[in-house]
Amino acid sequence: MRKNLLRAMCIALLGVVLLTACSKENKLEQPPAETPSGGTEENPSGSDNSGEVTYLDGYARPEGVMILNQGARRLENSSLTYLAPDGTVEEHVYRGVNGTAFGNEAQGLWMYNGKLYIISNGIYAPKGEEADGILVIADAVTLKREKVFRMDDLKFKRPPGCLDPEEWMPMHTPFDNVAVLDEQNIFFSEGQALFRFDSTTGEVNIVEGAYHFGNQGNTIENVASTTGVIRVGDCLYCAGGGFWESTRLIELSKGMNKVSRVLPDLKGQFISGICQTGEREIMLATCGRGGEKNSYLLFVNLDEWKIVKEKKISEDISAEFFNNSGVSLAGDYLYYAAGSTTVRRLSLKTWKSEVFIDASKDAPDAPHLNCNVVADPSTQYVYVAVSNAYSEMETPDKNYLLVYDCSGTSPVLVKKLVNQTCYPVGIFFMREFYK
């Protein structure tokens, strides 16, 4: 549901920054500076381009976990909660660094090359406290804000065939998510289409093959969605379909304003999520309507671009209305909750499923799931966020983030955060962004 301006080196430069703070040129550029990892902003990892991964420090440490809190969108702005490797919990970490909230009704987060990208809807900011923007780019190590883009900055040129009278068309909320290949290839979607955004120029491009004209060309209708998007190598993979197109897998590549590859006519009505199951293999999970036990797991070889294994399962794995993937993989098990506080897991070896976590036992006063459950592949910890309310007009007084060790035959509760989150919409393991 949901710019401390940088201190300039001279009075003249400060004046320029302040003068342009609300314009499309509002990109708070800084000269290359050292980061805690020993690199620069152009090369934040301090690597020698050999392909070897160099991990960053600060909030970008691979062992850290970032919680994106939407907050009660009409009553408060969104926030970040950080779980440090030593077990400590830091609340409102972005505000603590910048003095402001990054956005209102947050939708998605991504880290790449030392930068953190956060997208929000931004239409319900509380009176008297406007948030920074729709798309905020911050230093991933320090969380210091670097660039901000507001809704007026994100207009796109009317595509050929569209009958809308406006040459430059505005974005519509809600946004789905954000995924990044580099600073010139930032992808996000909303109800109209999927877009490729260049943060160095401010150019927004609608992605051909990711939308369809509805209402005889008067409207643009989304075909592809970034819900559950993943990155493998230099490409992004998401799914789509719906009224206009069959269920499909979509590949997005750098510098292309069109879908680079499509795997069409897949089984399943709706998209649950995507997981990486091998170096060059992903698993697309599809499902029926919420409550239906009519789901498919489709394993796709990315080099051959074909389904190499398919499994129908009698499970409800719906992603419901959440932005993150409805299924999460750790070890040989797939975890899912389909909007409930009961987490099931499915063995990818035996294909047997079982009820594995009943969050109501550890948080009996919190019957609402806040986002789809997320499993950490490196630790086999499963994170379940629940609360006692789920309304844009109400701030819950009972917020829990339950963390279970699922490496054994039974789950073990290892951490219980109480009122240190608020309507989480995403739980991000920083190590996953280094792949």
> Hunting for tokens 């930032």 — which residue is that?
186
Q: Any idea how long the chain is?
A: 435
From residue 227, give the alpha-carbon distance in Å to each of 54, 232, 399. 28, 16, 24
Give the residues across from 400 on adjacent strands: 386, 418
From residue 249, give the alpha-carbon distance in Å to each of 213, 271, 280, 412, 418. 20, 10, 15, 36, 38
**Are 70 and 123 spatial neighbours (Cβ–Cβ below 8 Å)?**
no
Q: Which tokens hold the place of 348? A: 């990818």
Indicate the domain borders of the chain.
Answer: 279-289+315-427
Phi then psi dihedrals of residue 335, to 5 deg: -110, 140
Long-range CB contacts (within 8 A, 24+) of 209-212: 209/250, 209/258, 209/259, 209/262, 210/240, 210/250, 210/259, 211/159, 212/244, 212/245
Question: One-letter amino acid identity for 101?
Answer: A
Report the distance separating Cα 430 and Cα 81, nearest Å. Answer: 13
Give the residues across from 402 on adjacent strands: 384, 416
Evaluate if pTM is beyond 0.85.
Answer: yes
From residue 10, give the alpha-carbon distance in Å to each of 3, 29, 40. 18, 15, 22
Exposure class string for 9-46: b at 16+ Cβ within 10 A, else e: eeeeeeeebeeeeeeeebbbeeeeeebebebebebbbe
What is the pLDDT, as a whole number, of residue 242? Answer: 82
Dihedral sign for Cα atoms in the order 41, 42, 46, 52? positive
Report the distance separating Cα 280 and Cα 120, nearest Å. Answer: 31
**Are 422 and 399 spatial neighbours (Cβ–Cβ below 8 Å)?**
yes
Count of H-run helices and E-run strands, the chain: 2, 33
pLDDT tens track, the chain, 435 positions? 433 333 333 333 333 333 333 333 333 333 333 333 333 444 444 333 456 788 999 999 999 999 999 999 889 999 999 999 999 999 999 999 999 999 999 999 999 999 999 999 998 888 888 899 999 999 999 999 999 999 999 999 999 999 999 999 999 999 999 999 999 999 999 999 999 999 999 999 999 999 999 998 999 999 998 988 999 999 999 999 988 899 999 999 999 999 999 999 999 999 999 999 999 999 999 998 877 899 999 999 999 999 999 999 999 999 998 999 999 999 999 999 999 999 999 999 999 999 999 999 999 999 999 999 999 999 999 999 999 998 878 899 999 999 999 999 999 999 999 999 999 999 999 999 998
β-strand pairing of 106-112 with 89-91: unpaired
**Are 44 and 54 spatial neighbours (Cβ–Cβ below 8 Å)?**
no
In the chain, what is the greatest distance between 2 CA atoms, to the nearest angstrom?
67
From residue 166, give the alpha-carbon distance in Å to each of 156, 169, 219, 221, 267. 10, 6, 12, 17, 38
Question: One-letter amino acid identity for 239?
Answer: A
What is the pLDDT, as a whole number, of residue 227? Answer: 86
What is the pLDDT, as a whole number, of residue 393? Answer: 81
What is the pLDDT, as a whole number, of residue 123? Answer: 87
Q: Where are the alpha helices (DSSP H) in 265-366?
A: none
What is the pLDDT, as a whole number, of residue 25? Answer: 36
What is the pLDDT, as a whole number, of residue 282? Answer: 98
Report the distance separating Cα 121 and Cα 105, nearest Å. Answer: 5
What is the pLDDT, as a whole number, of residue 50? Answer: 52
What is the pLDDT, as a whole number, of residue 3? Answer: 35
| Chain Cα centroid distance, residue 180 | 10
Report the distance separating Cα 78 and Cα 347, nearest Å. Answer: 36
